[in-house]
Structure 1
Amino acid sequence: MTSAEATPRYTATIDEVITTVVMARVTDFFGFFVYAIASALVFPQLFFPTLDPLGGTLASFAIFSLAFLARPVASLAGRSLQHKIGRVGKVSFALILLGTSTVAIGLLPGFEKIGWFAPVLLAFLRILQGLGLGGAWDGLTLQLQNVAPDSRKGLYAMVPQLGGPIGFVVAASIFFVLKGFLTEAEFLQWGWRFAFFAVMAVNVVSLYARVRLLNSELGVAPEVMRSAPLPELVRNEGKTIFLSACLPLASYALFHMVTVFPLAFAAIYEHFEIADILIVQLIGGALAILTVIVSGFLADRYNRRTVIRLSSILIVVLSLTIGTLAHYPMLYILFGFMVLGLAYGQASAIVPHRFPAQYRYSGSAMATNLSWILGAAFAPLVGIGLTAAFGLWAAGLYLLSGALVTFAALQLLNRQSPA
């Protein structure tokens, strides 16, 4: 613990930890998917009206990826900042940066008012979002895993992962309501902005809960939550960091291939109404919540490695059904969300225990940021680009490659502790 860290003021209960972790992750993913959905439905028309729908979407997704590239930079800078102002100060600063940049995006004028300065500002604010996301690594998920009973490791591990599908359902619901009650002109002019303002509101509540928990004592060994020296970390755990980043890669890619990708496909090729796709995705999100929970029971009954292997096989099957998106999108989307919940449910939990205790906090953060870059950052851009160039089968091949990488990582990774 650094000199800037405050002495814990109370002992948190397991219920408080679970509640705060779920709240924090739902908040993170709510903001994440508000931007992602807007990237498919709003930004191509608002910031790139001079391009055709395909070109505007590709440009929008290129900017979308910038936040993921900025996350490792923030993670490295956050190490120095945490040493000076403590973990609570670092997380608070990062979340304030994330919230203000998100609100600023909601206030941005479009191309028609300020020309190409509009997408430049969008890119700048997206980078700030990435810096906020990377700096907000709080270790709460790691703490929860360390205090979980041995017989319930899988169930406790899936708790933070519920934030993904729940956050998507909340974000998609807002866009569904806005699309349903506003005309297209009203939605593009000002309606979409409300979703970004809502992100700031929930961030304030989440920040309070996180700060309270970070100031508590959870009975976790101090070395587990301590930042390791970077040169030493890379020298001793570089291979493990890379292979650990490959473990959840397929699930992170799948995240965008069942959420943002179908929306962008529908918006570009106009085979189906956006509202119809959102309804199917809301049902899929509910199914994903259920399969995230199922992943916890399966991990406790067998082990996490078995769950990841099974989900990788199912992703391979899913990649073969991607062609149905053009005519029967319900099949691909619903099956995709079910597989997503199973794959994502244990994706993060399998990473930390690849590292010895003294490297667990820093190693997990570095591997997670790298995994989001490799698996998620360019998934919408590559998926739409391949579809436009070759057809949906090529996007399916891209999804298939992610599953193969994850499966290979399971076979190659040094087993430092039971999964």
Structure 2
Amino acid sequence: MDSAPSAPPTTTPRPTEPNRRKVATAAALASAVEWYDYFVFGIAAALVLGDHFFPSSSPAAGVLAAFATFAVGFLARPIGGVIAGQLGDKRGRKPMLVLALVMMGLATTGIGLLPSYETLGIAAPILLVLLRIVQGLAVGAQWGGAMLMATEYAPEGKRGLYGSLVQLGVPIGVVTANSVFLAASAVTGESGFASWGWRLPFFVGILVLVLAWYIHTRVEETPAFKEAERRLSEEEKGQKRSPLRTILRHHLGTVLLAGGSFAVNTATFYIIITGVLDYSTRELKMEKGSVLAVSLLVSATQLVMIPAAAALSDRIGRLRIYAFGAVGLLVWAVPMFLLIDTRSLLLLGVSTFITSCFLSIMYGPQAALFAELFTAEMRYTGASLGYQIAAVLGGGLAPFVMVLLLEATGTSMSVSAYIIGLAVIALISIAVLARRAARDRVEEHDRVEEAVES
């Protein structure tokens, strides 16, 4: 009797270089369009949403209501991260990324079409909040999918650089959102922009659906996920596997440390792109267009700084670069607002530029750092949870907290103290992660020596 034919190779084939580039580009574009849609809301919240959806005799109260709606999106992000993480670790990274893009495109376009309080009454702010929640769910699902599509396709020794391509979506989104708002304001004029021109930037969100179709039809699943699936036995596949349960039982401390390490970054980022926009125009009486232009130029510098910091982390270590950025934010928190309070457009630019440099130094290696904290079987869930916890504690509440602090204390130094507190938490979290990494290296070295001796 002839012997049975040999089984086909079970190893996952290496992706080709053109395929790596295609996937990395698609992941970067997905991140950019998602963050564009997300930031458009933040800019609109600082400039016009309070007047249209939360009418009040107090301008500060209207802005607080708009920023509270902005924060609601952040509260939804961990839910999106958990749901997409569970499914992404079990079904694949690509389907969840496509779903996130579709949700974001529909929600953003819906906000642009939503009638104001004057037309719909109380239904208008309620619908605005619901659409913002969908945006939050979408961006919570998107980051993990896009980040893993890039890092899991990365060649050896370049995971930080490839991960930074997804991180570039943030400054690209900010630059594009500010540019579109500036263009809409210039085309429609001040009165036209206040009444209807502000809606135009939201309609760009429909282009997200085109990108979702492209990724769905032209991009393959990541090699790391395929390999993780291959390693699972048929018996394991038949059982109920819950990455979230595994994370909560065995890796919750790592998730919390990841979130604690990053909260200062996301909080400071939203303070300078949203909170400072409101503070400088409403409190300091600076011209809106000029402040938006400064924000645009400063965000553009991140396009260079983020990949540079990520590439350096591939060479000298992620935590070392990450910690340097956190120390910078701690030291710069007070000078940052001292310069802004001068009401000088030039000094505002200097202040936010230096802040942006420290943010970029942290943000560049962050995707690869979070990916490396977890194994492929639970990576989507773990990395997403860590990132989104930081987003809730830092970014979502930061503009709201900033307005409350300014109203309560009358001084911007209270906002500086808020940033300093988060920076201290970040440095403690980074120190613990570094100690754990050192311990793991020692244990791995001992295992290798034992294997050699035996």
Q: 1:36 to 1:417 in 2, by over 3 A?
A: farther
The answer as to whether partners of 2:298 and 2:353 remain within 8 angstroms in 1 is: yes
Distance, in Å, in 1 between the alignment partners of 2:151 and 2:88 is: 22
Distance, in Å, in 1 between the alignment partners of 2:283 and 2:364 is: 32
Which residue of 2 is the match for residue 410 of structure 1? 430
* Cα distance, 1:308 vs structure 2: 1.0
* Cα distance, 1:235 vs structure 2: 0.5
Distance, in Å, in 1 between the alignment partners of 2:98 and 2:157 is: 34
Larger radius of gyration: 2
Q: 1:224 to 1:170 in 2, by over 3 A?
A: farther
Equivalent residue for 1:101, pick from 96, 101, 107:
107
The answer as to whether partners of 1:101 and 1:128 remain within 8 angstroms in 2 is: yes
Bigger shift: residues 67-76 or 145-154: 145-154
Aligned pairs for 1:157-236 (under 5 A) are 157-201=163-207, 203-212=208-217, 214-216=219-221, 218=223, 222-223=227-228, 228-236=242-250
* Cα distance, 1:178 vs structure 2: 1.8
Which residue of 2 is the match for residue 264 of structure 1? 278
The answer as to whether partners of 1:30 and 1:168 remain within 8 angstroms in 2 is: yes
Distance, in Å, in 2 between the alignment partners of 1:63 and 1:330 is: 28
Residue identity in the other structure for 1:34: V
Kindly indicate whether residue 377 of structure 2 is the aligned counterpart of residue 358 of structure 1.
Answer: yes
Equivalent residue for 1:49, pick from 55, 70, 93:
55
* Cα distance, 1:43 vs structure 2: 0.5
Distance, in Å, in 2 between the alignment partners of 1:31 and 1:411 is: 35
TM-score (normalised: structure 1): 0.89
Distance, in Å, in 2 between the alignment partners of 1:92 and 1:157 is: 18
Q: 1:76 to 1:294 in 2, by over 3 A?
A: closer
Distance, in Å, in 1 between the alignment partners of 2:186 and 2:226 is: 51
Kindly indicate whether residue 341 of structure 2 is the aligned counterpart of residue 326 of structure 1.
Answer: yes
Bigger shift: residues 91-100 or 257-266: 91-100
* Cα distance, 1:219 vs structure 2: 5.8
Q: 1:82 to 1:309 in 2, by over 3 A?
A: closer
Q: Deviations over 1:270-318 (max 9, x none)?
A: 4210111111111101212121122023213321111111111110122
Report the aligned-residue RMSD. 2.7
Residue identity in the other structure for 1:231: R
Distance, in Å, in 1 between the alignment partners of 2:133 and 2:325 is: 32
Residue identity in the other structure for 1:58: L
Q: 1:350 to 1:236 in 2, by over 3 A?
A: same
* Cα distance, 1:242 vs structure 2: 0.8
Kindly indicate whether residue 58 of structure 2 is the aligned counterpart of residue 39 of structure 1.
Answer: no
Kindly indicate whether residue 364 of structure 2 is the aligned counterpart of residue 345 of structure 1.
Answer: yes
* Cα distance, 1:41 vs structure 2: 0.6
Bigger shift: residues 386-395 or 135-144: 135-144
Q: 1:215 to 1:300 in 2, by over 3 A?
A: closer
Bigger shift: residues 245-254 or 61-70: 245-254
Q: Deviations over 1:366-387 (max 9, x none)?
A: 2222121122110111112112
The answer as to whether partners of 1:173 and 1:282 remain within 8 angstroms in 2 is: yes
Distance, in Å, in 1 between the alignment partners of 2:154 and 2:243 is: 27
Distance, in Å, in 1 between the alignment partners of 2:54 and 2:162 is: 44
Bigger shift: residues 377-386 or 83-92: 83-92
Which residue of 1 is the match for residue 306 of structure 2? 292
In structure 2, runs of 5+ residues without a counterpart are 1-12, 233-240, 442-454
Bigger shift: residues 65-74 or 215-224: 215-224
Kindly indicate whether residue 274 of structure 2 is the aligned counterpart of residue 249 of structure 1.
Answer: no
The answer as to whether partners of 1:75 and 1:134 remain within 8 angstroms in 2 is: yes
Q: 1:279 to 1:417 in 2, by over 3 A?
A: farther
The answer as to whether partners of 1:288 and 1:339 remain within 8 angstroms in 2 is: no
Which residue of 1 is the match for residue 416 of structure 2? 396
Q: 1:141 to 1:224 in 2, by over 3 A?
A: farther
Which residue of 2 is the match for residue 5 of structure 1? none
Q: 1:366 to 1:258 in 2, by over 3 A?
A: same
SS at match of 1:350: helix
Residue identity (%): 29
The answer as to whether partners of 2:104 and 2:205 remain within 8 angstroms in 1 is: no
Kindly indicate whether residue 301 of structure 2 is the aligned counterpart of residue 283 of structure 1.
Answer: no
Q: Deviations over 1:46-81 (max 9, x none)?
A: 112224221111111111111111122233444676
Which residue of 2 is the match for residue 20 of structure 1? 26
* Cα distance, 1:133 vs structure 2: 2.5
Distance, in Å, in 1 between the alignment partners of 2:304 and 2:85 is: 36
Equivalent residue for 2:70, pick from 64, 69, 73:
64
* Cα distance, 1:220 vs structure 2: 5.3
- Size of the aligned set, in residue pairs, is 410
Q: 1:239 to 1:224 in 2, by over 3 A?
A: farther
Which residue of 2 is the match for residue 303 of structure 1? 317
* Cα distance, 1:82 vs structure 2: 6.2
The answer as to whether partners of 2:88 and 2:145 remain within 8 angstroms in 1 is: no
SS at match of 2:56: coil
Distance, in Å, in 2 between the alignment partners of 1:266 and 1:83 is: 43
The answer as to whether partners of 1:307 and 1:342 remain within 8 angstroms in 2 is: yes
* Cα distance, 1:33 vs structure 2: 0.9
